[in-house]
Each structure stands twice: as structure tokens, then as C-alpha cells.
Amino acid sequence: MTTPEGIAMPVTLAGRGTRAAALALDLALIVFAFGVVVLGLIALGIGLDRVGTGQSSPVAEFLMVVLILAGFLARYVYFAAFELGPRGATPGKRALGIRVAARDIGRGNGRLTAEAVLARNLMRDAELFIPFVWIGTSLTGEAGIAGYAAGAWLLVFALFPFFNRDALRAGDLVAGTWVIEARRPRLQAAMSVGEDHREQYRFGQEALAAYGEHELKVLERVLREDRPEALRQVTETICAKFGWTAGNGDEREFLAAFYAALRQRLEADLRFGKRKKDKFS
């Protein structure tokens, strides 16, 4: 994927199993919340009956309105509200480390829009909720053959992600979205606790005073990436600056020792209120 700024970013599409697990978790949360609301309303209804005139019909109608409203929120607002947030993910997706993204981000205009989020979630109604309602009705014998048709309908949409390489559901196809992995990388170990090579190399104060915090961060990144060519180039640059002779094959040990010595000096200067942001300051 290439960002609008032209930066290439590796993106991994969420697997079908991960997406299904996230949806199952979201539905479980909705069912749990809906159950809590129902129990709360039942308890409230009993209390109102006792306080009122004893006629439960107005109370039952009120409870039915509240239940319909709760069902609407669970069916339409839950997914859209969370996916319109800054993380682009419902609680189920966040738990599984995935999020919704615009599919045309690779062409430079890939912001996830409200229209796209609403479209993919309205399609979920046709893909999932409507056939489920018909299937549930068929269990009572009222839907007849419509229940079997709803089962076939649900099966078609459930298998849809298996017939395209990006595991898109119909809602993704309509809205121009996909679901990608967005796991948080674990914090790396601090460089200061790595192997100490300072006994192998000695650096003068003039060399250490030549660099600041910016150069320290660059050096740390080079050490973390651990690319041989980058290690060699940085070693040769530092050695050339101070007239040293670069070693052969010990670039990483040399840079690790220089990093530790430079960091120690910068931290010592900070304790005395002296701060060197970069080599120009």
C-alpha cells in the first residue's frame, strides 16, 4: 500500500477466520447488552405496574417501543458508530487486532469515509440480519418455504468471502472497503540493556560532543534494523569524520559501543541542564 505522501506501507489483509471471530464477538456483545436491557425493562415494568393503575397495556407498549429502539441501535448504530471512530474498528475487531480501511488508499485518496462505513453496514442488514429474522420466523412454522430461501440467502453471503482473494464480503465490495490487520507492535527492548561493547572501544570527548539526540535516534534505528550495508556505511562515515580506521566485520559492535557512549554523555549533560538536540546545536 502507498500512502498519499508516497510512503510504501506493508499491509496484511485480515483472514476470513479472524473476521468471522470478530463478528461473533461483536454479536455476543450485542446479545449480552440487549439481554441486560430486557432484564432491566422487565424489572422496571413490574415496578410501574405496582405504582400505576394495574393496567399493564400502556407499560407493555412503552417497553415494546424501548425494545424496538434498542434493537435498532444494536442492528444499525453499533457497527457504524465504532467504525466511524478514529480506530475504524468495533470492539470485536479491536480485540482481534483488525480494522476497516478504504480499499483505494493505494491510489492516494484512501480516507475511510462515513458513506463507505454506512454502506458496508447497511449491506450487513441484507447479508445477515434479514435472513436470520426469516429463519427465526420459519422455526415457528409461519414463514413456510421462505425460511428455506432465507437459509440459502444467508449461505450465499456467508460463502462470498471465499470466492475472492481479498476475503471481501458483499458489503466491502459495495462500499469500497477492506479489513486489514492493525496489531500494535510490542515495545522493543531498550538499547541500553543490550550487550555492552564499550570496553572494546574508547571514544574521545571530541567525538562524543560532535553528535546530539537526533543522531543518537538515527543510530538506534540503524542498530535495530541491523542491515549490514547500513551498518557499514554509518561506521565508515563516523570513522572518516574523526580520522579513524574502520574495522572489518565488527561494524555492529563498534556502533553499539559508540551508541552507548554517546547516550551516556547526553544523559550526563541533561542532568546538568545541557541539551544538545543535534550536531548543529
Mean pLDDT in residue range 192-204: 69
DSSP for 115-141, written as a single string: HHHHHHHHHHIIIIIHHHHHHHHHTTT
Least confident of 14-18, 190-194, 249-253: 190-194
The β-bridge relationship of strands 177-181 and 98-102 is antiparallel
Q: Is 245 exposed, middle or buried (0-12, 13-18, 19+ CB in 10 A)?
A: exposed
Distance, in Å, from the CA atom of 22 to the CA atom of 100, rounded to the nearest integer, reads 12
Coil, helix or strand for 66? Answer: helix
Mean pLDDT in residue range 145-150: 77
Coil, helix or strand for 102? Answer: strand
The C-alpha cell at 38 is: 430486557
Mean pLDDT score across all residues of the chain? 78
In tens, the pLDDT along 99-117 reads 888 887 545 455 788 888 8
Q: Looking at residue 187, what is its pLDDT?
A: 46
Q: Is 117 exposed, middle or buried (0-12, 13-18, 19+ CB in 10 A)?
A: buried
104: number of Cβ within 10 Å = 13
- Give the distance, in angstroms, between the CA of residue 147 and the centroid of all CA atoms in the same chain: 37
In tens, the pLDDT along 237-266 reads 888 888 888 777 788 888 888 888 888 888
